[in-house]
Structure 1
Amino acid sequence: MFAPPPPPPYNTVPMHRLPSFYHADSVSPPPPLAAVPVQAVWAWNFDQESSILRSFAMGARYVAVDVHYPGIVHQPGKDHNALTPEQRYALVKANVDSLKPLQVGIAVCDRHGGIQAWEFNLCDFRRHSDPHDANSLAYLDGRGLDVDTLAKHGVDARRLGAMLLSFSGLIGHWHGLSWVTYAGAYHVAYLIKVVTGGRPLPNDVAGFVSAVRHFLGDQVYDVAGMAADCPALPVGLERIAAHLGFHPPWGSSTLAAAAGVRALQVFKRLEYGEFAGDVGSYRGLLKGLHY
């Protein structure tokens, strides 16, 4: 049997052994003092955690995704703000097609307000042979992500994609399900790459939008856009979450699943607070291609 790797500094007690957190009678913003546990997923516990995810996802109402990837290797030839949506998408496609994701963080909120999160560590990237941005890898290393450990003990991205597509109940079964990300064209694009087995992204924005709707539905929200319309909020997801009183998630407070948890918490707080349930205009991820 595959031996588990030494626990990374961001690993924690398996979530399914912990008590349920902040359930309520209806979907509502979670109390600010609740800390969500994150379960790190490796090759050795992938099947077990996939089963737990599937069980929890049966009652899913919201899903947040965040992907860590090895930087950007294709840069715009001019100011990013001057690019058209098609040019922005071409840049996203060039980078996502060229690079391999490192982690996929998924946070799921059920219809009672409970949140659980999984951090899928991927094994496909090789530091010495795959394209990457060295500064981005150094930044992630400083936050606790060791790409060499991922290569030794992580999950093959195709295996993760097959599970999400056929087993999780989250992809392609999106009736009544909303997806959340923070400044996330890249996050969604990498998720599409994973669930399609690593195939190149569609050639244009229309094809990308069609793929997103096919796999995720049309309820895909950009928390960055929501926060930008709230002048009292600081800039940056971690700062916004701290400002609103959310504690860092347990077990992986700085990596992909933690960002998913924060995006989900902030989305729900703004949805039921500042926006009083009216968040339809913030399905802007596909229009503006923010990142």
Structure 2
Amino acid sequence: MQATEEIPCLPYPPVQFIIPLYPMTHWLAVPYFPMPDPDPVPVPGIIYPVWKSNLDAEFKRISNLISPGGCWFASIDTEFPGTIYASDKGRLHDPQYNYKMMKDNVNDTNIIQLGLTLADLDRNIYTWEFNLSDFDIDHDPHQNKGSVEFLKGQGIDFRRNKEDGIPSPVFAEKLLSSGLVEHRSGVELVWVGFQCSYDFGFFTKILTGQKLPDDIENFRTDMRYYFGPRVYDVRYIMSFFPSLYGGLEKVAETLGIARVAGKSHQAGSDSLLTYLTFIKLMDMCRNSGIEKSCRGVLYSLSRI
């Protein structure tokens, strides 16, 4: 789906565009962020599972990484107990309608996992899988039984999440003090997801401690406040490549990208695969202007 509105993108200060990869290049031809070297490097397959018992230790690790000159990229994925309100397929090109469906589903369900992958320009990659305690498989009235059974098959232990997982308010407190969001670290990260309106919806719901707003414009305001303008949706980027289609697994396979750790529909593993897919696509479209066209656009919701 193409964006339905145009919001001017002002250039960043020259230091963000004059980088060794693009000497003597006009800023309009340069990506909106420095890119890692295109040469492939080994990708570590370590995913750190995070529970309430090791939450403090892992956020110390994250805070040490999020500093000026540190990580540039943050990729996310979430797992939740499925959608409980079905969409009208005839209205899927309407951002207002898509937002309402996402909002209603996010507000009435509870997140299970949030995956986070951080990476720097040297392609040092770190992945965490945060296990939340909000969802109660035995008593939560809002769950899609088919989705829950599928996630069981992917290895998610719902009862352990409930007993040993992280309460969302505690997770939000750690996020807000870590430097990841609100630009508190002095580094404006490039945020990445795959068909990620629900992912950022749950993330925003956690950070605010409130249900998502009724108005899409208020949601866009929250997005810009917490994540800044440099948000990219791989599903939207795919629209510039006619040969790419399908879900994350299919796209990665088409691009020759292997899942190096975990399983599909585990949030940590999917956040890592999303990052690798994003970097591959950006390598394929250097200096094409696609970065500018895709900046701040969530697939199905238009520009944030």
Q: TM-score range by the shorter chain?
A: 0.7 to 0.9
Specify the alignment match of 2:54 in structure 1: 45
- Taking a change above 3 Å as real, the CA distance of residues 245 and 32 of structure 1, as seen in their structure-2 partners, is farther
Q: What does residue range 26-37 of structure 1 map to in structure 2 within 5 Å?
A: 27-29=36-38, 31=40, 34-37=43-46
TM-score, length-scaled by structure 2: 0.80
Identity in percent: 29
Specify the alignment match of 1:112 in structure 2: 122
Partner amino acid, structure 1, of 2:51: W
Partner amino acid, structure 2, of 1:184: C
Specify the alignment match of 2:109 in structure 1: 99
Indicate whether 1:86 and 2:115 are aligned.
Answer: no
Specify the alignment match of 2:182 in structure 1: 172
Task: Give a deviation string over 1:18-53, Cα, whole Å, max 9, x none.
Answer: xxxxxxx97234727534321110111111111111
| Structure-2 separation of matches of 1:149 and 1:287 | 33
Specify the alignment match of 2:131 in structure 1: 121
Residue among 193, 200, 206 paired with 1:188: 200
For the 8 Å contact 2:233–2:299, the answer to whether it is kept is no
Specify the alignment match of 1:264 in structure 2: 275
Indicate whether 1:222 and 2:214 are aligned.
Answer: no
| Structure-2 separation of matches of 1:214 and 1:109 | 22
| Structure-2 separation of matches of 1:270 and 1:142 | 30
Partner amino acid, structure 1, of 2:300: G
Structure 2 unaligned blocks of 5 or more: 1-33
Indicate whether 1:143 and 2:163 are aligned.
Answer: no
| Structure-2 separation of matches of 1:243 and 1:56 | 32
Partner amino acid, structure 2, of 1:212: M
Structure 1 unaligned blocks of 5 or more: 1-24
The structural deviation recorded for 1:253 is 5.8
Q: Which moved more, 1:80-89 or 1:154-163?
A: 80-89
Count, aligned residues:
263
The structural deviation recorded for 1:285 is 3.6
The structural deviation recorded for 1:284 is 5.5
TM-score, length-scaled by structure 1: 0.83
For the 8 Å contact 2:196–2:299, the answer to whether it is kept is no
Deviation above 6 Å: which 4+ runs of structure 1?
Answer: none
For the 8 Å contact 2:182–2:227, the answer to whether it is kept is yes
Partner amino acid, structure 1, of 2:129: E
The structural deviation recorded for 1:254 is 4.6
The structural deviation recorded for 1:87 is 1.4
Task: Give a deviation string over 1:150-171, Cα, whole Å, max 9, x none.
Answer: 11111111111111112x2110
| Structure-1 separation of matches of 2:288 and 2:165 | 39
| Structure-2 separation of matches of 1:86 and 1:185 | 12
For the 8 Å contact 1:223–1:263, the answer to whether it is kept is yes
Residue among 55, 63, 66 paired with 2:77: 66
Indicate whether 1:56 and 2:68 are aligned.
Answer: no
| Structure-2 separation of matches of 1:287 and 1:253 | 21
Specify the alignment match of 2:295 in structure 1: 283
The structural deviation recorded for 1:84 is 2.2
The structural deviation recorded for 1:104 is 0.6
For the 8 Å contact 2:92–2:300, the answer to whether it is kept is no
Q: Which moved more, 1:253-262 or 1:25-34?
A: 25-34
| Structure-1 separation of matches of 2:90 and 2:60 | 42
- Taking a change above 3 Å as real, the CA distance of residues 165 and 150 of structure 1, as seen in their structure-2 partners, is same
- Taking a change above 3 Å as real, the CA distance of residues 259 and 32 of structure 1, as seen in their structure-2 partners, is farther
For the 8 Å contact 1:38–1:119, the answer to whether it is kept is yes
Partner amino acid, structure 2, of 1:133: N
For the 8 Å contact 1:124–1:156, the answer to whether it is kept is yes
| Structure-2 separation of matches of 1:140 and 1:285 | 28
| Structure-2 separation of matches of 1:184 and 1:26 | 22
- Taking a change above 3 Å as real, the CA distance of residues 34 and 111 of structure 1, as seen in their structure-2 partners, is closer
Secondary structure (helix, strand or coil) at the match of 1:221 reads: strand
| Structure-2 separation of matches of 1:85 and 1:208 | 12
